[in-house]
């Protein structure tokens, strides 16, 4: 039986609107399988940087994106829509509207969320029941990390086990609710992009073998400090574990990032100023350039922002944003039809 055989033709008034969360990629545990299984990822789903799009019935096909989005985003949307049509056989015209998305190639997993949001909205409009793992496979997501896929479904602090030998979606090993009082200070440099596409593949292939002892240490930090710290709301071991993980994996990836664990020197300046002054989980999400400092409260986040600005370590071109963890996944609403507002900054 084909996928299309489960579909019902879209009605003239059908509209599906999806809000998909961003994630921070906190690090791989074993990039080249020195302990027997490649990758494995720790990730945190966050609020405030979501992808929001809608699919609705239309007399003719249309793709609408915000004025500040480039051709790359429009082309991605068109490819995803074409793939879904090829796989389902459904050719009904639709209007696909992107209301907002986080910066691309900045460490938020925007490519995965964009793909899954299109897939979920398309399926909702056509009464098609495909789970997230199936959509990810159809749309070519989750080849290395599974935290974006699990985050789309469930939110929270996530640990995956890396892809299996058959390339299947990495299994979710742990999902822990992120303590609601904790905050994440994001440091964004929108003048730069993190490595992606062919450049990312070349960089990964050129890295030295990953030491077995280092992979074991990363696993220890995650299993014995980060996960129990979050589960028991013990901030200090959690923060120290995240910072250690980031430092060790960042040093390994530094040769592909100009010799630093940070892509952006301006982001590095802020975070390295915070490091000796505050207890915080500090690092860079994926290839950056976005950096983060996870702190125990909103008050501490505001204090750090004010102190960093007063100390003159915040480049005027940077954007600082304080967000919460998000303990739920994407939301589907077939009643809303208007865009939401934009991103906030501090």
What structural domains does the chain harbor? 8-333 (3.30.230.120)
Per-residue pLDDT of the chain (346 residues; tens, 9 = 90+): 345 444 444 443 478 999 999 999 999 999 988 998 888 999 999 999 999 999 999 999 999 999 888 788 999 999 999 999 999 999 999 999 999 999 999 999 999 999 999 999 999 999 999 999 999 999 999 778 889 999 999 999 999 999 887 768 899 999 999 999 999 999 999 999 887 777 777 767 778 889 999 999 999 999 999 999 999 999 999 999 999 999 999 999 999 888 899 999 999 999 999 999 999 999 999 999 999 999 999 999 999 999 999 999 999 999 999 999 999 999 998 643 333 233 333 4
Tell me the torsion sign for CA atoms 219, 225, 227, 228. Answer: positive
Q: What is the pTM of this model?
A: 0.91
Helix, coil or strand: residue 43: strand
Closest CA to 219 of 341, 41, 15, 2: 41
Please state, in angstroms and rounded to a whole number, the distance separating the CA atoms of residues 269 and 262: 10
């Amino acid at each position: 039986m084909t996928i299309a055989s489960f579909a019902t033709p879209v009605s003239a008034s059908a509209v599906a609107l999806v809000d998909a969360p961003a994630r921070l990629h906190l690090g791989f545990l074993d990039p080249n399988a020195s302990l027997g299984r490649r990758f494995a990822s720790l990730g945190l789903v966050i609020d405030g940087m979501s992808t929001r799009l809608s699919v609705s019935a239309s007399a003719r096909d249309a793709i609408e994106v915000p004025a500040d989005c480039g051709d790359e985003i429009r082309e991605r949307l068109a490819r995803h829509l074409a793939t879904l049509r090829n796989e389902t056989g459904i050719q009904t015209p639709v209007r696909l509207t992107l209301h907002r998305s986080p910066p691309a190639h900045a460490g938020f997993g925007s490519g995965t969320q964009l793909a899954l949001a299109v897939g979920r909205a398309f399926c909702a409009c056509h009464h098609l029941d495909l789970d997230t793992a199936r959509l990810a496979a159809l749309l070519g997501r989750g080849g290395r990390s599974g935290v974006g896929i699990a985050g789309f479904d469930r939110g929270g602090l996530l640990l995956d086990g890396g892809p299996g030998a058959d390339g299947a979606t990495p299994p979710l090993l742990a999902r822990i609710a992120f303590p609601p009082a904790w905050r994440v200070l994001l440091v964004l440099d929108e003048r730069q992009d993190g490595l992606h596409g062919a450049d990312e593949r070349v960089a990964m292939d050129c890295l030295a073998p990953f030491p077995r002892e280092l992979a074991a240490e990363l696993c220890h930090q995650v299993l014995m400090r980060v996960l129990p710290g979050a589960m028991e709301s013990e901030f200090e071991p959690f923060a120290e574990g995240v910072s250690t993980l980031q430092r060790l994996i960042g040093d390994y990836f530094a040769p592909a990032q100009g010799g630093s664990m940070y892509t952006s020197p301006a982001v590095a300046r802020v975070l390295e100023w915070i490091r000796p002054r505050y207890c915080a989980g500090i690092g860079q999400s994926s290839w950056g350039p976005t950096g983060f400092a996870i702190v125990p409260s909103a008050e501490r986040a505001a204090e750090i922002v004010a102190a960093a600005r007063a100390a003159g370590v915040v480049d005027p071109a940077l954007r600082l944003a304080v967000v919460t963890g998000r303990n739920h996944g994407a939301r589907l609403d077939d009643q809303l039809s208007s865009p939401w507002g934009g991103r906030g900054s501090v």
